[in-house]
Amino acid sequence: MTPIRIAFLGLTDAAPLVVALEKGFAEAEGIALELLRDTSWATLRDRLVYGQVQAAHMLAPLAVAVTLGLSQQPCALSAPCKLNVNGNLLVMNPDFAAALEPDAAARLGDPLATAHDFANAIGLYHRKPIIGVVHRFSSHALILRYFLASAGVDPDRDVVLRVLPPSLMVEAMRAREIDGFTAGEPWGSSAIEAGLAEAVAASERLWQRGVEKVLALRTDWMEDNADTVDRLLRALVAAASWCDDPANREELARLLSHPAYVDQPHDLIERALSGHIVARRGEPPVDLPDFLLFAREATPFPWRSQALWIYSQFVRWRMVESSADAQARAAAVFRPDIYRRALASSEAPMPGASMKVEGALAQPLAIGAPKGAITLGPDRFFDGRMFDPDRIEDYLEGFEVPR
């Protein structure tokens, strides 16, 4: 048995890691998995960078940021597989939400209109709303900025983005330190259930197949331990398939609700797993079937174009200077080659390409693959833009910079 320690945060999308351990998928690959829960992304990152753990459940943009040296300590990280797609909610307190579309399902269904309502609500509020984000280098922060900017809001000028770990968001809402937040589940649902917030946007409606958490490894460790990495990826992909099976949903929710993992009621956790999101306490759930994906449509496959989309947003928000070198290093964080090597002997269907135009699919599309066929789900951005990884400059010029 090869011992592997993985650091994670208490979130529903840590499910493939928990299942790999609890349902024996890791053991079947000869891996003695140990999971270490952290509260803050900074601690999780440091544990990975300084070798206290071999792998981490990491925000995809944070893995890119660490590699580019935007974080505290530069270190080359690699993401040979994604742990999930989508899974976040933006929630705001009921006072603020009262200025938005009152029908919560309509509000979630039309993000472009909601962004404009949001922009108007800022004016009514007489001060900058304070919105909690889990990290500067998170998909949450990047897509929130994109969402706000689509209605002319400058996220660095018109709102205050306050960084807090996801598990502290609900308490910060209760203490009125923040007016809303965007985080992975179950924290949005937890605030809604406490009557402290209403859902304003769901990540699957902002970018239908948005990149979220990855399995992050130190690149040098990954290269020195090829066989172990392959076994770990096989275990995680098998676990992810188990997580996506509706028959396992209740058991999964109960597993995650354990105090060692998410430590929240299982019925709250089940909302994200089933895509039945209660947008306002006491109302019937809104049906969001793609709220959280673990395995279907080759979810774990790390498309390089998605690492480049993250890079494009870093450039857009002036978190990094645009350069050919930075772009190449960002793209290299996602490692479809390692994924292909590890899963070559398995049943997992494998895309033939490593990049795609993100946001181009309005309808499900069956793509040819060297092994099996894969149907990719619609992956549109809510504003209809497409991200061509070969034309990043053109893409960025298409945005009106709100300042």
Partner 1 sequence: MRIVIIDDSGARATVLEEGLRDAGYDDIHVVPPRGAFVARLERMAPDVVLIDLGNPSRDSLEEMLIVSRALAKPIAMFVDQSDDSMIGAAIDAGVSAYVVDGLRKERVKPILDLAIRRFNAFARMQAERDEALTQLADRKTIDRAKAILMRTRDLSEPDAYALLRTTAMNQGKKMVDVAAALITASDLLGGMS
The token duo for 400 is 């009106």
| Helical ranges in 71-202 per DSSP H | 94-97, 104-109, 111-124, 139-149, 169-174, 187-193
> CB under 8 Å to 50, separation ≥6 — which residues?
none
> Which residue type sits at 30?
G
Binding residues for partner 1, rule CB under 8 A, total: 26
Among 103-111, 165-173, 369-377, 383-391, which window interacts with partner 1 (CB under 8 A)?
165-173
Q: Hey, which residues between 62 and 101 contact partner 1 (CB under 8 A)? A: 71-74
CB nearer to partner 1: pick between 36 and 365? 36
| DSSP H or E segment with residue 132 | strand 130-133
Question: How far is Cα 359 from Cα 207, in angstroms, rounded to an integer?
Answer: 8
Binding mask 381-400 for partner 1 (x = CB under 8 A): --------------------
Distance between CA atoms of 278 and 266, rounded to whole angstroms? 15
Shortest distance (Å) from residue 69 CB to partner 1: 9
Residue closer to partner 1 by CB (options 168, 200) is: 168
Residues 123-162 that bind partner 1 (CB under 8 A): 134-136, 162
Distances (CA, A) of 357 to 206, 237, 293, 294: 16, 24, 20, 21
Smallest gap, in angstroms, from Cβ of residue 39 to partner 1? 4
- Name 128's Cβ contacts closer than 8 Å, sequence gap at least 6: 122, 158, 159, 160
Residue 232 within binding range of partner 1, rule CB under 8 A? no
Is residue 47 part of the contact set for partner 1 (CB under 8 A)? yes
Rounded CA separation 230/31 (Å)? 11
Q: Does 340 contact partner 1 by CB under 8 A?
A: no
Interface with partner 1 in residues 167-186 (CB under 8 A):
167-168, 175, 177
Residue 163 binds partner 1 (CB under 8 A): yes
165 binding partner 1? (CB under 8 A): yes
Contacting positions for partner 1 (CB under 8 A): 38-43, 46-47, 50-52, 71-74, 134-136, 162-165, 167-168, 175, 177
